[in-house]
Amino acid sequence: MNPPSGPLQPVRTVFLSDIHLGTRECQAERLLDFLDSVQADCIYLVGDIIDLWAFKGGFYWPPTHAAVLRAILAKARTGTRIVYVPGNHDESCRDFCSQMLAGIEVRRECVHELRDGRRLLVAHGDEFDGAVKCGRVMALLGTQLYDLFLRWGYRLNRIRRVFGLGHWSLVTWLKSRVGNVRRHVERFERAAASEAARRGLDGIVCGHIHRPAMTVYDGVLYCNDGDWVEHATTLVEDMHGELRLWMWPEPAIRSQPVVSTWRQAA
Ligand SMILES: [Mn+2]
Q: Which residues contact 141 (CB under 8 A, 6 or more apart)?
A: none
User: Can you give the residue ranges of every domain in the chain?
Assistant: 9-263
What's the CA-to-centroid distance between 29 and ligand 1, angstroms?
21
Query: Length of the chain in residues, anyone?
Result: 266
CB-facing half-sphere around the CA of 95: CA atoms within 13 A: 3
What's the CA-to-centroid distance between 208 and ligand 1, angstroms?
4
* Residue 218 three-state SS: coil
- The tens digit of pLDDT for each residue in 103-143 reads 999 999 999 999 999 999 999 999 998 876 654 455 555 56
Mean pLDDT value of segment 12-38: 96
Q: How far apart are CA 108 and CA 85, in angstroms?
A: 5
What's the CA-to-centroid distance between 89 and ligand 1, angstroms?
6
Mean pLDDT taken over the chain: 86
pTM for the complete prediction? Answer: 0.81
What's the CA-to-centroid distance between 8 and ligand 1, angstroms?
30
What are the DSSP E strand ranges found in the chain? 9-16, 38-45, 81-84, 99-101, 104-106, 110-113, 119-122, 203-206, 213-217, 220-224, 233-237, 243-247, 261-263
CA dihedral 240, 246, 249, 251 (to 10 degrees): 50
Angle between helices 28-37 and 63-77 (to 10 degrees): 20
- The tens digit of pLDDT for each residue in 42-93 reads 999 999 999 998 888 888 999 999 999 999 999 999 999 999 999 999 999 9
CATH number for region 9-263:
3.60.21.10
What's the CA-to-centroid distance between 169 and ligand 1, angstroms?
19
φ, ψ for residue 51 (rounded to 5)?
Answer: -90, 90
